[in-house]
Amino acid sequence: SQTIHQWPATLVQPVGSPLSLECTVEGTSNPNLYWYRQAAGRGLQLLFYSVGIGQISSEVPQNLSASRPQDRQFILSSKKLLLSDSGFYLCAWSLQGGETQYFGPGTRLLVL
Amino acid sequence: GNSVTQMEGPVTLSEEAFLTINCTYTATGYPSLFWYVQYPGEGLQLLLKATKADDKGSNKGFEATYRKETTSFHLEKGSVQVSDSAVYFCALSDSSGAGSYQLTFGKGTKLSVIP
């Protein structure tokens, strides 16, 4: 069966510091991968998605970036965090050509 | 563009009460429709889905029917339990090309069930 991991689970970072969140998927090959952000009291915002290694599509212009160095690894990064980057970050995967997305446990980021 | 509108809540019900969470959508094509559930501090779990008009998705006592004529996908459960307390998200899926689909989510409805 497929599983999706995210780490760290919780992160507290000062404004201006860098960020690296990691997501890995097990039990499937060549998945589509997604990064979402859920701000407090708000819905989910799609940040990036990837249909293959090195292929990243950005949905929202911001100071975040994403990379996919391996087939089942998706990384969300920032060079300098802003207060507004605080939120709950969710990674998801789907089969190629599949509509259903499956979510990881999330990373809670607090920028102070 | 696509959009999903759901009742924002919060919704507070007594145990064994009937639940309805309304969801309507706007889409240019014929999307698939989903309900996801998020328990406190966790990620989203797929609750149920329907891929075409008049399909009924069901899981764990929850049901929702894809109504094309009213562009709706209302979530129902006949008898809620305290363990159903969570945030429920309605979503639609549409093709973004290149073998990928994008989900458009509603803002979520928080349900609290009291004993």
Residues of A in contact with B34 (CB under 8 A): 100
**Can you give the pLDDT at residue B98?**
64
Residue B57 at interface with chain A, using a CB cutoff of 8 Å:
no
**Can you give the pLDDT at residue A85?**
93
Distance CA A2, CA A95 (A): 11
Nearest residue of A to residue B5 by CA position? A43
C-alpha distances in Å from residue B85, one per residue of A91, B24, B111: 23, 22, 5
Residues of A in contact with B101 (CB under 8 A): 32, 94, 98-99, 101
What percentage of chain B carries pLDDT values higher than 90?
82
Out of A18-32, A56-70, B49-63, B90-104, which region has the weakest mean confidence (pLDDT)?
Answer: B90-104
CB–CB contact A42 B107 (8 Å): yes
**Can you give the pLDDT at residue B41?**
86
**Can you give the pLDDT at residue B102?**
86
**Average pLDDT, integer, range B14-25:** 97
Residue B32 CB-half CA count within 13 A: 16
**Can you give the pLDDT at residue B97?**
66
Confidence bin at B101 (pLDDT 50/70/90): confident
**Can you give the pLDDT at residue B100?**
75
CB–CB contact A43 B43 (8 Å): no
**Can you give the pLDDT at residue A11?**
97
Task: For A7-29, give the DSSP string.
Answer: E-SEEEE-TT--EEEEEEEES-S
DSSP-derived letter for residue B78 is: S
Q: Write out the E strands in A1-112.
A: 3-7, 10-13, 19-26, 32-38, 44-52, 55-58, 64-70, 73-78, 87-94, 102-103, 107-111
Residues of B in contact with A30 (CB under 8 A): none
B115 near B15, Cβ under 8 Å?
A: yes
What is the per-residue pLDDT across A28-84, written as a single tens digit (0 to 9) for each?
Answer: 999 999 999 998 767 888 999 999 999 998 888 678 999 999 999 999 999 999 999
